[in-house]
Structure 1
Amino acid sequence: MASTAKPRQSWAGLWNISFGFFGIQIGFALQNSNMSRIFQTLGSSLDDLPALWVAAPLTGLLVQPIIGHMSDRTWLGRLGRRRPYFLAGAILAALSLILMPLSGALLMAALLLWMLDASLNVSMEPFRAFVGDMLPKDQHTAGYAVQTAFIGAGAVVGSIFPYLLDHWGVANEAAPGQIPDTVRYSFWAGGVALFAAVMWTILTTREYSPDEVRAFADGGEEVDGGQTLRALASRSLTSSVLWIAAGAVVVAVTEIYALEKEVYLLGGLLIAYGIASIAGITMAKGGRSSNMLSSIVGDFSGMPPLMKKLALAQFFSWSALFIMWINTTPVVAQYFFGSADADSAAYQDGANWVGVLFATYNGVAAIAALTLLPFLARRIGKVRTHIAGLLCGAAGYASFFLFKDPQHLLIAEIGVGIAWASILAMPYAILASNLPQQKLGIFMGLFNVFVVVPQLLVATVMGSIMKALFPDQPIYTMAFAAGVMVLAALAMLRVEEKAQ
């Protein structure tokens, strides 16, 4: 079959392809800026916050590779291969957002966080591949920039909603153990907005058929799925056993030194991956070529070198982001509004201000994605642009130690916003131009493992570190965030950018 080029998309086409992410990010923003507040309102202590947040990244770790693998192999007539997952995830996420403010206990809130994050990941993961599916290589940067702009815009709406409702007269305080009306109404409105935005993309786009995808010339080098499984079948079980041994060591150290109970999860995940690897290798050796587990394990172990180098930078940058999402509310409430009591008016005012701060960095990201990042990428390349963005984020986190007035934190959020825009756009633009088209979903899903694993690491070990070194002083989490963001920038020095 002769190769053909994908047609270029107009700005209207770019809008339609990514508008659903506007709604998805409203959901993520409501989750990120309000879940610590909800947990503390329902009785959680500061030390227990990381454990309650574990459900979100753990869900992403399991869901994204599976959805990526499945969406590469799905074709449901007029719905296509990515859009069925957009629809299913949007329905479940909207339901979770509507139910979350009705939580009357920590367990219910934690379970709904798990359901919300799972649903958001079901919709989000195929959206990353969708941009690569629909656009030629020379539009990848523009496509991911538009997607990032919608992410920023959606996050602004989701983050600032409680603050605006408070100023419009909606009650921002409630009886002890009750979620304020500002949060309740924000979640309900967010559920409606999420569903409507995803439906817009579903109804205004047409996916390329499998035959059309195979005919396109710009999807990267074709990959033989059987070759991946043959390579997996040739592997020994040594590395799998080492993963299990590492997990056992983590569990033993946690028990011996009485570390926080969340660290057991980290050990359990290492053991689980070792067992999954053994199962995948064994099935591949037995000639079972169509099983999902072997395909995922084989693709993970056979990631392209460029993807492995980018993964290290992702690991560090998302560690910093997750530290910020968990800890910004207690940091701002305690150090800038003078209260660590979740039932106090000062704490609720601080929590609302965090919504403004999060809206600010997301607004900066939306603007930077369409202006600063494309400008820099054309002149210094995507890799150097990403390094500069990460260093801006490190400076933003470090400046929390310099400011005393909460208004001045808006300056810090400019640096964070530039970093956020770069993290959401540059790695994916680099990857989409260098990955095989027919495996774009699974590789994007596996790449997002390095978004999720650092979140799990933060959720499992940060509590122990802070309790041992800086008890009741959450401000020092911002120093950790700044440090690991610098490590992300250093990791990008290993990435070589290919000329397009």
Structure 2
Amino acid sequence: MKDSLKPKMHFWQIWNMCFGFFGIQYGFGLQQANLSPIFRYHGAAEHELPILWLAGPVTGLLIQPLIGVISDGTWTRFGRRKPFFFMGALVGSIAVMFMPYVPELWMVVGLFWILDAAMNTAMEPYRALVGDKVNQQQRPLAYALQLFMVAGGQMLAGLMPLIMIAFGVSIETDGKEIPEIVKYSFVVGVVVILVSTVWSFYTTDELPPEDMEAFRANQQHTSIAHVFKELWSALLEMPKSLKAIWWVKLATWFALPMMWQYLALSIARHVYNAPTPDSPGFVEGTAQVGMAFTVMNVTTIVMALVIVRFVKYLGDANTYALFLLIGGVGFLSMQLTTDLTMTFVCMSLVGVGWAAIMTIPFIITADVTPAARVGVYMGLLNAMICLPQILEMFTIGFFYDSLLGSDPRNALALSGLLFVVGAALALRIKSKPDHLINQEVSQ
């Protein structure tokens, strides 16, 4: 449906639509805060961690563009996007339920693949749903609310082990057994994922295709071959703005996995002097990563309230660049401290960069892509984050012990340098549809 025909939505309608993202991001937050320590409890070495994280980007690369195309051509009595994010959340909650209880590393990795496949199935249609329902004037608000849900879900997931400690749940471990505080955090995750997703499913209606008869006729001719043909066509016709965003994502999304893989271990080693799972203080140290991510996400929530104003006065590209530069400074500053409070301060700066990463590309994409291809381009945009992550996960293990000195904090410094590079690349983005850019060039 054209933007001019989309009705203006009330704030709580947008809120209800975005609320399911809270649960999806709780699932991602559980991974970010707990997966590396879980791998270490099962005997994985630090240089092996990146390759064990491979499920996330691979499933995202394979699933999100396909789900984008398929959902673009789908209409059911439940809507276009809702069936996908509901089923993804349901399967993901099952994986969350069992992940901390299985006894072997290969089982954890297998459930991780299932969880990320499910979460990616849910996430892309959620992004596209905003493009479907919200007109151009309200999109910055809608994506800001999604950012709020991202931050809130990840924040609750990260804090949950510390909340469990406050309620007296055991932190005991022999270096191989996963502590109860982690196990219970995953149990809570099942409830959060299901409740938030069901809420959005039942409170949000989708806009049907303008010409249902033509849509149904086209739907009958849709096949797997058509899906891949549409993906290839979309790649060839990708707007210039999205091509420029790709280079920013190459830098920033090579950097971000290192934060999730090594921040908990860096805090344990440099703040608690606990380099291994059997070191005194390792459980407490790795649990503090939840507070670090909370600080980051609180900053992200604050920036969600003001990022629309920055975009208005600075423009999309300049806001993107400025926020990424601040995030890079946060990562690099961690080299200067072993104090927990100062580490949290550094993470607040990282949160500024994260706010831009989670909003600006989607605002630009919704503005420059044709309505009929919102789903496929949202899927391709999410797929862009997968290739650099795969590259990181295949390469870091080769130079972690040499170039990075077997020190998780050095991996965070590399993340900071890459954020600075990403900030420079963001200045090349032109956030207008191609036909308007071409008109300006010809004038």
TM-score using structure 1 length: 0.82
- Structure 2 residue 208 is the aligned partner of structure 1 residue 209: yes
Q: 1:63-78 maps to which residues of 2 (within 5 A)?
A: 63-77=63-77
Aligned partner of 1:426 in structure 2 is 360
Q: 1:111-150 maps to which residues of 2 (within 5 A)?
A: 111-150=110-149
Kept in 2, the 8 Å contact 1:173–1:345? The answer is no
| Partner Cα separation in structure 2 for residue 59 and residue 319 of structure 1 | 16
Kept in 1, the 8 Å contact 2:367–2:432? The answer is no
Q: Secondary structure at the match of 2:276?
A: coil
Kept in 1, the 8 Å contact 2:59–2:113? The answer is yes
CA shift for structure 1 position 109: 0.4
Q: 1:12-411 maps to which residues of 2 (within 5 A)?
A: 12-77=12-77, 79-211=78-210, 291-371=226-306, 373-411=307-345
CA shift for structure 1 position 132: 0.7
CA shift for structure 1 position 291: 2.6
Q: Secondary structure at the match of 1:210?
A: coil
| Partner Cα separation in structure 2 for residue 176 and residue 203 of structure 1 | 44
Aligned partner of 2:382 in structure 1 is 448
Q: Are residues 445 and 404 of structure 1, via their aligned partners in 2, closer, same or farther at CA, if it must alter by over 3 Å?
A: same
Aligned residues: 427
- Among all aligned residue pairs of Structure 1 and Structure 2, give the percentage whose two residues are the same amino acid: 33
TM-score using structure 2 length: 0.93
| Partner Cα separation in structure 1 for residue 33 and residue 3 of structure 2 | 47
Amino acid at match of 2:45: S
Kept in 2, the 8 Å contact 1:50–1:463? The answer is yes
Q: Secondary structure at the match of 1:467?
A: coil
Aligned partner of 1:219 in structure 2 is none
Structure 2 gap segments, 5+ residues each: 437-443
Per-residue deviation, residues 431-450 of structure 1 (Å, max 9, x unmatched): 10111111111111111111
CA shift for structure 1 position 164: 1.3
Aligned partner of 2:5 in structure 1 is 5
CA shift for structure 1 position 297: 2.4
CA shift for structure 1 position 473: 1.7
Kept in 2, the 8 Å contact 1:213–1:437? The answer is no
Q: Secondary structure at the match of 1:211?
A: coil
Aligned partner of 1:417 in structure 2 is 351
Aligned partner of 1:234 in structure 2 is none
Amino acid at match of 1:132: G
CA shift for structure 1 position 213: 9.5
Amino acid at match of 1:139: Q
Amino acid at match of 1:16: N
Structure 1 gap segments, 5+ residues each: 216-224, 226-287
| Partner Cα separation in structure 1 for residue 248 and residue 128 of structure 2 | 20
Q: Secondary structure at the match of 1:468?
A: coil
Kept in 1, the 8 Å contact 2:2–2:371? The answer is no
